[in-house]
Structure 1
Amino acid sequence: MAIMQIIVMPRVPEGISISPFVAEIHKYLQAQKLPHQLHDMGTLVEGKTSELLTLARKLHEIPFRKGVQRVYTIIHLDDRRDKKVSLGDKVKSVRQKMKKDNL
């Protein structure tokens, strides 16, 4: 499995919140039933690489369907094939190391 971080930023006039667009994106993600996690700077999604790349295109289109004329999307893809990874594994690993080192 791969992990993708995606940031979809509708370019809207100053003073207009993008949170309704983010909410719409997360409704779509929930319907897809892929493991995902919203954080302050974007969204993490776990899945097969091909699924994630297709999903990125679909998420990018959501603001356009709501009338936005410009969307800026950033994608980071961690496609690790030497071992199985899941959302949260990296955080768990760091916390274990901190606990071990009393940090």
Structure 2
Amino acid sequence: MNVIIDLCVVPIGVGLSVSKYVAVCHEIINKAGLESQLHAYGTNIEGDWDKVFDVVKKCHERIHEMGAPRITTTIKAGTRIDREQTMADKVASVKSKL
């Protein structure tokens, strides 16, 4: 089953800037071959359910390895089985109505 998630991973106890942790997660996402879109407060990721959530786990593991004692993560997830729909499809649908 495919899923599109909105992922926001926030390391706690590492100071104010978290961009290096976001960059590491994007490396993990890219290595997994998943489509993603970075935005100001998170990342959209699409793909097979197990691959997507494996990436979330790997992000947590890597950020802890980098010294973050705590991580808080917010995930919104959506699936549909009536037809295939990508992140690009969803954005294009809204843009066509603007």
Fraction of identical pairs, as percent: 32
Cα deviation 1:24-73 (Å, max 9, x = unaligned): 11111111111111111101111111222222222222210101100001
Amino acid at match of 2:60: H
Mark the CA change 1:2 to 1:13 in structure 2 (over 3 Å): closer, same or farther.
closer
SS of 2:96's equivalent in the other structure is helix
Match of 1:10 in 2: 11
SS of 1:23's equivalent in the other structure is helix
Asked if residue 33 in structure 1 is aligned to residue 66 in structure 2, the reply is no
* Superposition pairs of residues 70-85 of structure 1, within 5 angstroms: 70-85=70-85
- Per the TM alignment, residue 13 of structure 1 is displaced from its structure 2 partner at its CA by 4.7
SS of 1:94's equivalent in the other structure is helix
Count, aligned residues: 97
SS of 1:97's equivalent in the other structure is coil
Moved more, 75-84 or 49-58: 49-58
TM superposition score normalised by structure 2: 0.89
Match of 2:24 in 1: 24
Unaligned runs of 5+ in 2: none
Amino acid at match of 2:12: R
* Superposition pairs of residues 41-80 of structure 1, within 5 angstroms: 41-80=41-80
Structure exhibiting the larger radius of gyration computed from Cα positions: 1
CA distance, structure 2, for counterparts of residue 48 and residue 13 of structure 1: 31
CA distance, structure 1, for counterparts of residue 97 and residue 59 of structure 2: 35
Contact 1:12 1:18 in 2 (8 A): no
Q: Tell me which protein shows more strand as a share of its residues.
A: 2
Match of 1:101 in 2: none
